[in-house]
């Protein structure tokens, strides 16, 4: 190839200039290689447990710079900087604020690494690992219910609801009563409360039960307590009962009509809402001698009593019935009966009486002293006790010719009339006198 000095020098310069330009471009490109993170969790996730103490190192960022320049690590974002801090030169990441998986289960955290030429950012998905740090929590407290006393055994009456935000066994809840109840059971898994024994309002009107909700973490079980108040409502299942038994009294036989013998009282054994009582006589009220007020229970004399009347002499045994009344005052099926014994006290209101108003007899004058005249004389006082005691004697002309015995009588006696002085037909042919 031929060339001239001018043209040859020019071409040589051009070639040299291009070479320098290419060399400078290659060197500049090689000096600007950015750093890059090497931690595995940038491609997956980083697990940090929620109970990690503040100040704990949770990981160390690792990065390489092809140019070998010193690297500076950091974290960006308001939320990320509240929870995490990065030691700039070492890349150690430590916790600044407590974690709570139940409040936030994961975080997207952006870390940085920089050299002298610039900053590289990459995001890590940080999963907050669960620990059993929450006790079960009851809903809709307070727990209070009312059930009737005739609720059948086996009936479900309530459901307790509690949840635990922890995961796994730490979030699984079992229920129980503390202490166990003889009358109620609770389903461990579902919290359903069931009647296990017959209830009785008259024995127990309320139950205070303590429900225990426990999670199933064997290493660190947590539990909570709640009160369950069960009020038993009364059902009319009890018959009435008489008070102040037994009923027995004595009254004077001359007690006038309207005289109050006694007030009878019965009560409803159902204590929740006791009903009124109606009173009636169902037997033993001979000739309706007594009246019983239906509402007040006042027993009064309603006829003319007489102890000497054979129907009444032994007294009265009256059967009385008490009946619970419905709200409309009609009788219910709840009843009770009892007897009331009434004895009549004697009053001295009866004189002695002979079995005849006149006695006649024929005897011979030869009758000896002491001879008993063939007469049947009987005397009786129907009163009782001392009221039936009396004296018998003879009065009238010539009554001294005869004697009578006995002279002292209680109740009833057969009298004997005897000759006391010898008789003489020619002197006295007949005798007339009185026995009193």
> HEC states along 375-401?
CCEEEECCCCHHHHEEECCEECCCHHH
For the annotated binding site for Ca(2+), the residues are 32-33, 50, 65, 67, 69, 100, 102, 115, 130-134, 149, 164, 166, 170, 200, 202, 215, 234-238, 268, 270, 324
Which pLDDT score, from 0 to 100, does residue 392 have? 84
| pTM: predicted TM-score of the whole model, two decimal places | 0.57
Query: Mind listing the domains of the chain with CATH numbers?
Result: 36-129 (2.60.40.60), 137-233 (2.60.40.60), 241-345 (2.60.40.60), 353-435 (2.60.40)
Which pLDDT score, from 0 to 100, does residue 30 have? 53
Tens digits of pLDDT across the chain (436 residues)? 333 334 344 433 333 333 334 334 444 445 568 999 999 998 999 999 988 999 999 999 999 998 889 999 999 999 999 999 999 999 999 999 999 988 999 999 999 999 988 899 999 999 998 888 889 999 999 999 999 999 999 999 999 999 989 888 888 999 999 999 999 999 999 999 999 999 999 899 999 999 999 998 888 899 999 999 999 998 888 889 999 989 999 998 899 999 999 999 999 988 777 889 999 999 999 999 999 999 999 999 999 998 888 898 889 999 999 999 988 889 989 899 999 999 998 787 778 888 888 889 898 888 899 898 898 999 888 877 888 888 888 888 888 888 888 988 887 888 898 988 998 888 888 878 787 6
Q: Which two tokens stand for residue 316?
A: 């009265």
Give me the residues paired with residue 343 across strands.
250
Which pLDDT score, from 0 to 100, does residue 60 have? 95
Q: What is the 3-state secondary structure (H, E, C) of 66-89?
A: CCCCCCEEEEECHHHHHHEEECCC
Which pLDDT score, from 0 to 100, does residue 23 have? 39
Phi, psi at 420, each rounded to 5°: -105, -25
Which pLDDT score, from 0 to 100, does residue 31 have? 57
Which pLDDT score, from 0 to 100, does residue 309 have? 87
Question: What is the number of residues in the chain?
Answer: 436
User: What residues contact 350, with CB distance under 8 A and at least 6 apart?
Assistant: 308, 381, 382, 383, 387
């Amino acid at each position: 190839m031929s060339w001239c000095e001018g043209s040859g020098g020019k071409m040589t310069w051009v070639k040299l200039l291009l070479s320098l330009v290419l060399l400078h471009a290659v060197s500049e490109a090689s000096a600007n290689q950015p750093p890059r993170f090497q931690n595995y969790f940038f491609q997956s996730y980083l697990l940090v447990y929620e109970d990690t103490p503040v100040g704990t190192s949770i990981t160390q960022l690792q990065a390489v710079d092809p140019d070998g320049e010193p690297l500076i690590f950091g974290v960006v974002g308001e939320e990320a900087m509240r929870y995490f801090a990065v030691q700039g030169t070492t890349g150690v990441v430590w916790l600044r604020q407590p974690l709570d998986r139940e409040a936030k289960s994961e975080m997207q955290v952006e870390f940085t690494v920089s050299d002298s030429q610039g900053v590289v950012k990459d995001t890590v998905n940080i999963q907050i690992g669960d620990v059993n740090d929450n006790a079960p929590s009851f809903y809709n407290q307070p727990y209070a219910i009312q059930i009737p006393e005739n609720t059948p055994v086996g009936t479900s009456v309530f459901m307790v609801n509690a949840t635990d935000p922890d995961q796994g066994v730490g979030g699984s809840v079992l229920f129980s009563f503390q202490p166990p109840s003889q009358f109620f059971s609770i389903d461990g898994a579902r919290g359903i409360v069931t009647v296990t024994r017959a209830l009785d309002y008259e024995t127990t009107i309320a139950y205070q039960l303590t429900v225990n909700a426990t999670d199933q973490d064997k290493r660190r079980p947590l539990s909570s307590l709640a009160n369950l108040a069960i009020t038993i409502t009364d059902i009319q299942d009890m018959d009435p009962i008489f008070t102040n038994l037994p009923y027995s009294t004595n009254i004077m036989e001359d007690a006038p009509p309207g005289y109050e013998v006694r007030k009878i009282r019965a009560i409803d054994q159902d204590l929740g809402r006791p009903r009124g009582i109606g009173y009636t006589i169902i037997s033993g009220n001979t000739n309706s001698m007594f009246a019983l007020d239906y509402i007040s229970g006042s027993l009064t004399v309603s006829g003319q009593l007489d102890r000497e009347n054979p129907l009444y002499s032994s007294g009265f045994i009256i059967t009385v019935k008490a009946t619970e009344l419905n709200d409309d005052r009609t009788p219910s099926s709840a009843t009770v009966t009892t007897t009331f014994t009434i004895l009549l006290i004697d009053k001295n209101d009866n004189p002695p009486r002979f079995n005849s108003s006149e006695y006649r007899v024929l005897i011979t004058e030869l009758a000896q002293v002491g001879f008993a005249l063939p007469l049947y004389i009987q005397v009786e006082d129907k009163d009782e006790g001392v009221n039936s005691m009396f004296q018998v004697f003879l009065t009238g002309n010539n009554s001294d010719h005869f004697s009578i015995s006995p002279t002292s009588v209680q109740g009833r006696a057969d009298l004997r009339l005897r000759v006391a002085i010898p008789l003489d037909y020619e002197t006295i042919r007949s005798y007339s006198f009185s026995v009193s």
